[in-house]
A and B are shown apart, each in its own frame.
Chain A
Amino acid sequence: MTSFDDSKTRGLTRRGVLKAGTALGAGAVITPSFFVRNAWAEEFRNNPGNASSVKFGFNVPQTGAYADEGADELRAYKLAVKHINGEGDGGMMNTMQPLALKGDGILGKKVEYVTGDTQTKSDAARASAKRMIEKDGVIMYSGGSSSGVAIAQQSLAQEMGVIFMNGLTHSNDTTGKDKRRYGFRHFFNAYMSGAALGPVLKETMGTDRRAYHLTADYTWGWTQEESIKNTTEALGWQTVNAVKTPLGAGDFSQYITPVLNSGADVLILNHYGKDMINSLTQAVQFGLRDKQVNGKDFQIIVPLYSRLMAQGAGENIKGIYGTTNWNWSLTDAGSQAFVKSFGQEYGFPPSQAAHTCYVQTILYADACARAGTFYPPEVIKALEDFEFDGMGNGKTLYRGADHQCFKDVLVVRGNENPTSQFDLLEVVKQVPASQVTYDPSIFGGELGPYKV
């Protein structure tokens, strides 16, 4: 009793001690994070601090062979910024699950943007990105459409400590041997194209085929050729020859004529953009599509398709198989919301390049909102292993191990009977994400540190 009274006299109670202890403990937990937050403010590049806005950089090919695709990407970026800032109809922000964005910018700051021209050249893209980071103070930058260019920008992102959200890039290397902690890719890759195409090729063309590859001579072409070869050879197909063609060759006739008498009954065009339009047009001119070899109808495959390319190749695209990341004709709520929003703004549906760029911008913004900060390491952690839905490809995982998104892949065919002017690609099969998922270690590479 006495002791109790004594303690009371000194103002100490069990409850008081517990209260004080809890307060101290909570303080001890909370206090460092306050300091860390302030420390982040000191540490990271282009911290917006108390500014009322943040700036994004959109680095797309505005000149060069991919300029039309770049223009479509830019349209998508502008639309994404509008939606993040709460303007327009909100597009996919109405369908994305889960979503931390509130339609008032990011963490209360409005989004602004600057644009740059990559010219589809790695050095020009790096210079433009560097200018955006150093002069314009962008907090994130994004863009496509060439894997060589994307990889160059991703490396810069790691050096500068500013996140790069890849636009259209399909090489396995982007999230394989050249992956970076500060680079993220929503678009699918050559391996996934091969994995998705395989079963469809088996079903439509059988297991006894002889394939001839014409391949664009740079990182994307090489990895696509390798992936498609692995797939077709696993089906039992023979690879007759694989010939590298210079990028932008224009006239492919001298590469196509040897195909005629090679004994091949399938031509695989690992070409993209202008190259694909030219090589496919010329292959059809040389009568390859109407040819019979080894008692079978000759077939042409374009593993990576886009609606913009289909438009350029005109009639020649009909009946030809390939894969695509997304197509405007999909009927899920996310795709419909995006197509509606984009169509109302511009009068035509978006391309797959536009789709991936739009999604990447929203995903970055959402990651900042979830992380509660623009501090890159925290935003990166918020994106890593993030699962979402409602963005047009079904349930999607942003895998932490290599920063590659895993989602359904579309196998498409050039539409024989289009119902509208935009109905150029017919979706043959929506291959589930589980069938195109692979072990990240097969491509090697290191992500690198969070803090740079």
Chain B
Amino acid sequence: MDVILLQLLNGLDKGGAYALIALGLTIIFGTLGVVNFAHGALFMLGAFCAVSVQALLTISKKVKDESITFFDAYKEVPYLEAWWGDTGSMIIDYAVPLSIVIAIPLMLLLGLGMERGLIRYFYKRPHAEQILVTFGLAIVIQELIKAQFGANPIPTPAPEVIAGSANVGLWVGLGESVVYPWWRLIYLAFAGVIIAAAFAFLNLTTYGMVVRAGMADRETVGLLGINIQRRFTIVFGMAAVIAGLAGVMYTPILPPDYHMGMDFLVLSFVVVVVGGMGSLGGAVLAGFLLGILQSFASMNEVKSIFPGIDQIIIYLIAVVILLIRPRGLLGRKGVMET
């Protein structure tokens, strides 16, 4: 029972990341009609916002390392620690939460810049060309990050206070043996909040209503005198912020490296396809569903019956869904079916 609970939490956690990325992908596809292969790169850039904030907070002065006698080596003492002692160390410790504040405007600007500077020229071009240009952009971003930060994962830990694990077992009456890292629980809650906020924005505000109307019939909304294009640009920025925040929050779970966006992108596309192209609810549902299934498929009991199932489960489900319900779980009839 406790193993099932843990795997369920793992699945929800991973599903949260898939859902956040897939949500952004779907919003962009639904509004702009663009298949954005650079969306994983936005997730990765979000993660590197946290890395950059950490690097900024730990800007150091070089002090000769007397313990190295073979050659001249220098160790780095962060200015913050040198000036403010423990307070400085505490600020450095909170690098990840602090970077959320920085990431929101930065990712918004980046999203707007990307849409205005590149994506808008491809609205009327075939999907294949959109994929090529966004994929190319993703590679460029990836290589720039590698050139700057190197190829190895960079540890970006959560604040010390929540570095440990929560006794989840006690909460549900399973005893002390079931523990789960605090940060992963926070990530899950965070994913829920962001998803709820995005839905509330699109469903409960007039702005969101117009965007949804534009998604359904762009021409008619335009004829009503609404500059739908501008709204779509802002929505692109919003999707970039969601991906970026998902990346920032993921850094304590997975030390970021330049390739992490690509790893998530492929899975997130499968999530979008399974959920239904253009369906926001479908993206979220499929994200969590696939995360949980992937998690359960890696249980030893399951693998002893179907060896290697953990590595193919997501694609297997995509095949089955495409065969029996090509529009995806919650996809609207007619979208990407031809």
Contact = CB atoms under 8 A, between A and B. Distances in A.
Interface of A: 63-68, 241, 243, 246, 248, 250-251, 253-255, 257-258, 260-261, 273-274, 277-278, 281-282, 285-287, 308, 311-315, 336, 339-340, 343-344, 347-349, 419-423
Interface string B29-51: 00000000000000000000000
Contact of B165 (A254, A281, A285): A285
A255 B67 CA distance: 40
B181 interface: yes
Nearest to A277: B153
Given A65-B151, A285-B181, A420-B75, A312 B7 contact: no
A144 to B, nearest CB: 14
A312 B152 contact: yes
Contacts of A315: 157
A115 to B, nearest CB: 16
A67 B178 CA distance: 38
A261 B71 contact: no
A351 B182 CA distance: 35
Interface of B: 2-3, 6-7, 10-11, 13-14, 65, 67-68, 70-76, 146, 150-155, 157, 163-165, 177-181, 183-184, 253-255, 257, 259-260, 263, 294-295, 298-300, 303, 310-311
Contact of A285 (B68, B183, B257, B294): B183
A254 B263 contact: no
A319 B95 CA distance: 26
Given A314-B157, A340-B70, A420-B75, A253 B151 contact: no
B299 A281 contact: no
What's the dominant secondary structure at chain A's contact region?
helix
Given A287-B165, A347-B72, 10 more contacts: A63-B151, A67-B150, A250-B263, A254-B7, A286-B165, A312-B154, A339-B70, A420-B65, A420-B68, A422-B68
A277 B73 contact: no
B10 A343 contact: no
Nearest to B263: A250
B4 to A, nearest CB: 10
Contacts of A253: 10, 13-14, 184, 253, 295
Nearest to B252: A285
A336 B68 CA distance: 11
Given A251-B14, A255-B298, A277 B152 contact: yes
B111 to A, nearest CB: 25
B73 A278 contact: no
A368 to B, nearest CB: 30
A64 B152 CA distance: 9
A314 B7 CA distance: 27
Contacts of A285: 163, 165, 181, 183-184, 253
B253 A251 contact: yes
Given A285-B183, A347-B73, A261 B177 contact: yes
Contacts of B181: 285-287
A67 B257 CA distance: 11
Most buried by A among B13, B74, B259: B259
Contact of B311 (A63, A246, A260, A423): A246
Contacts of A420: 65, 67-68, 73, 75
A73 to B, nearest CB: 13
Contact of B152 (A68, A246, A287): A68
Given A64-B151, A257-B3, A286-B179, A343 B68 contact: yes
A254 B146 CA distance: 28
Nearest to A281: B255
Contacts of A68: 150-152
A65 B70 contact: no
